[in-house]
Structure 1
């Protein structure tokens, strides 16, 4: 069968392409507006809303390409700062899964593990008590480097905010990234925000606790199988000198130095952060 392309057919084809692109752009703009509205929603505490200026959630989620029909895994949501935006956005047409800290079955030994297990329990309870807002996110556990239950080819997008330095400190960065790679569907996106170390040269960097070298993170992700799609300076902070006695934890929101130089750290704001978008190749 032959297809004859007339001038009228070509015009309609061009018009359709333009309208499709316009609809895509309108959808992206609309999502940005929805992200911003959810970030400013009074369901969130005033403390959480005050951090919007540092964490740029609407712009960050737009950069990663989040849409309402996706199946999304948020890793270690902590107190639910991003969950408060992701859950209501996805609850009607998509699916949010939270990879929480390991549940305390009595075997946890470290104070940090016990603390974060309690944080996870409180977030799960809050979600359950406010299901009209949050919907019904699914819950799994991440005890680096493994997910429990094991996850394979399940998600369109995995999001991790300021977690990679912890995996690296414990020697699990590559293995955890490999587990994330397995959890994503082919063509799926990994969106990562992480404290960024000071770059000294093409082969070296320097920073104290909590910071990671951007090239090192990219190489680890690529070794796990990912391809870097794009990087952004959305969450950069040039005022962060990265040379504090308690590392990144001296800065807000932790303010680990207490009253010592508190005004200085507040003036600096939250850390300088890399924002990286990776893809799991389709083949």
Structure 2
């Protein structure tokens, strides 16, 4: 890198930080800035400038680690990739303008200066895109795993009675997860009756019904009984129109009614206690 540019970056790092934060507050959209506190914005901005300057003072490994940290932070706080690339472009413009303010460059020297700054910025831009993409993929993968773990829980509500509330659409991958959680949960909680609550499932088509029937059959194979609860009128009409046979599964319109029937199957019931006089 041009020694003149390198020395300028070292000497004007603090000024560049302040100018960069001011510029990004004007250029950034409200979503990118309002989601974090002023302190976090300042700390992240400082890391960004440090990562930029480290390109001339640190080893390649240390520089890559700095860029990795700033992109990881950006993904966590919700800064889009475009915000970082815009920030890098703005930093390049600032450096050029500040250097031209301090020294009168000829046309040839200005072209050379722009070339040197571009040579410095281009590798960082590439590194930011690559690092941001990797961090984004990691975050999405972790979120997907967390969502899968929460998407089909089997909850014991009474002794021998468990409920699996389902929310959202059910595809083949999720149906597999439902089956696994259902069977392992039945054995773990020693459930004699399992209620699958589809109140939160927006659409029950042939495929969804097929998966539910498979789950009920699997539950019976491990010695338990499966009930389907939360069947809304529109869902009941769809099931009838599609000709889906649910005769082997006990169904109720609400979870409350299902709990009552489940208690009856286990020789129990809910009674009201009269207040003592």
TM bin (shorter chain): under 0.3
Larger radius of gyration: 2
Q: Which has the higher contact order (CA 8 A, sep 6+)?
A: 1
TM-score (structure 1 length as normaliser): 0.25
Higher strand share: 1
TM-score (structure 2 length as normaliser): 0.25
